[in-house]
Amino acid sequence: FSTLLSAVDSLSFRLHKVINGGDDPSLIKPTLGNDSNISSDTASKICGVYIVPSVEYVISVLSILRCGMAFLPLDPSWPKERILSVVVSSNVGLILGCLNSG
């Protein structure tokens, strides 16, 4: 159980870093002082999970929820056209995948 919590903590930390822009100034969330037209409230809070059912899937879902985002399951067995259609229509801001996801 402690290994699972450690993995969730680690991925949550990395997700927060990506969501907040990390070290790339072009990825930093807009603030009141920023000239961007996009407000933080309208930024996508949906993260796609493109992973087969596994321990990695569970860790990803728990980490996404811990970051305050919603997750959208994307089955790697679906045709690429269907995945693209779902991603575009859902306004997904980030997609997590795993090397063994297909």
The distance of Cα 73 from the centroid of its chain, to the nearest Å, equals 11
Q: Is residue 77 part of a domain?
A: yes
3-class secondary structure, 61: helix
Please state whether the predicted TM-score (pTM) of the whole model is above 0.75: no
Q: Establish how many alpha carbons lie within 13 A of residue 43's alpha carbon, considering only the half-sphere containing its beta carbon.
A: 17
What is the C-alpha to C-alpha distance for residues 97 and 17, in angstroms, rounded to an integer? 17
Q: Is residue 70 part of a domain?
A: yes
Q: Establish how many alpha carbons lie within 13 A of residue 56's alpha carbon, considering only the half-sphere containing its beta carbon.
A: 10
- What is the number of structural domains in the chain? 1
Q: Is residue 39 part of a domain?
A: no
Q: Is residue 33 part of a domain?
A: no
Q: Is residue 8 part of a domain?
A: yes
Which domain CATH number covers 95?
3.40.50.980
Q: Is residue 38 part of a domain?
A: no
Q: What is the mean pLDDT of residues 8-23?
A: 78
Q: Domain of 86?
A: 2-28+44-101
Confidence of residue 74 (pLDDT cuts 50, 70, 90): very high
pLDDT single digits (tens) 23-68 = 655 554 544 444 444 444 445 689 999 999 988 899 999 999 988 8
Q: Is residue 35 part of a domain?
A: no
